[in-house]
Amino acid sequence: MSSRAKIHGVNKPIPTQPVEHYENFPVASWLCPPRLRPPIAAIYHYARTADDIADEGEATAQQRLDDLSAYRADLLALAQGQPHSGRWPQVCEPLAAMLREFHLPVPLLDDLLDAFAQDVRMTRDQASYADPAELLDYCRRSANPVGRLLLHLYGVQDETALRESDAICSALQLINFWQDLSRDIPRGRHYLTDADCAAQGVQRAELASLRPTPHILALIASQVRAARALMQTGAPLVHRIPGRAGWELRLVVQGGLRILDKIEALGFNSLQHRPKVGAADAPLLLWRSLWM
Mark which of 125, 160, 189 sits at the end of a domain: 125
Q: Average pLDDT in the 270-282 region?
A: 94
- Whether 12 has a pLDDT exceeding 90, the answer reads no
Q: What is the pLDDT of residue 29?
A: 57
Contact 276, 259 (CB under 8 A): yes
Residue 7 in any domain: the answer is: no
Of residues 118 and 11, more confidently modeled: 118
Q: Average pLDDT in the 73-83 region?
A: 97
Cα–Cα distance between 146 and 68 in angstroms, integer? 18
In this structure, the answer to whether residues 163 and 284 fall within a common structural domain is: yes
In this structure, the answer to whether residues 264 and 288 fall within a common structural domain is: yes
In this structure, the answer to whether residues 136 and 118 fall within a common structural domain is: no
Average pLDDT in the chain: 89
- Whether 118 has a pLDDT exceeding 80, the answer reads yes
In this structure, the answer to whether residues 111 and 249 fall within a common structural domain is: no
Residue 254 in any domain: the answer is: yes
Q: Domain with 212 in it: what CATH number?
A: 1.10.600.10
In this structure, the answer to whether residues 190 and 60 fall within a common structural domain is: no
Q: Average pLDDT in the 195-220 region?
A: 96
In this structure, the answer to whether residues 136 and 280 fall within a common structural domain is: yes
**Per-residue burial over 220-235, b = 16 or more CB atoms within 10 Å of its CB, e = otherwise:** bbebbeebbebbebbb
pLDDT, tens digit, for every residue of 134-157? 999 999 999 999 999 999 999 999
In this structure, the answer to whether residues 114 and 137 fall within a common structural domain is: no
Q: Average pLDDT in the 90-99 region?
A: 97
- Whether 24 has a pLDDT exceeding 80, the answer reads no
In this structure, the answer to whether residues 147 and 57 fall within a common structural domain is: no
Q: What is the pLDDT of residue 34?
A: 86
Q: Average pLDDT in the 126-140 region?
A: 96
In this structure, the answer to whether residues 112 and 149 fall within a common structural domain is: no
In this structure, the answer to whether residues 119 and 153 fall within a common structural domain is: no
Q: Average pLDDT in the 218-232 region?
A: 98
Residue 27's pLDDT band (boundaries 50, 70, 90)? very low
Percent of the chain predicted with pLDDT > 90 = 80
Mark which of 102, 125, 148 sits at the end of a domain: 125
In this structure, the answer to whether residues 107 and 181 fall within a common structural domain is: no
Could you tell me which of 287, 285, 171 has the C-alpha nearest to residue 235?
171
Q: What is the pLDDT of residue 111?
A: 97
Q: CA torsion, points 58, 50, 245, 100, in degrees to nearest 10?
A: -150
Cα–Cα distance between 53 and 48 in angstroms, integer? 9
- Whether 72 has a pLDDT exceeding 60, the answer reads yes
Which residue range forms the structural domain that includes residue 266? 128-292
Cα–Cα distance between 75 and 95 in angstroms, integer? 9
In this structure, the answer to whether residues 92 and 72 fall within a common structural domain is: yes
Cα–Cα distance between 195 and 80 in angstroms, integer? 43
Contact 55, 2 (CB under 8 A): no
Contact 15, 56 (CB under 8 A): yes
- Say how many domains are in the chain: 2
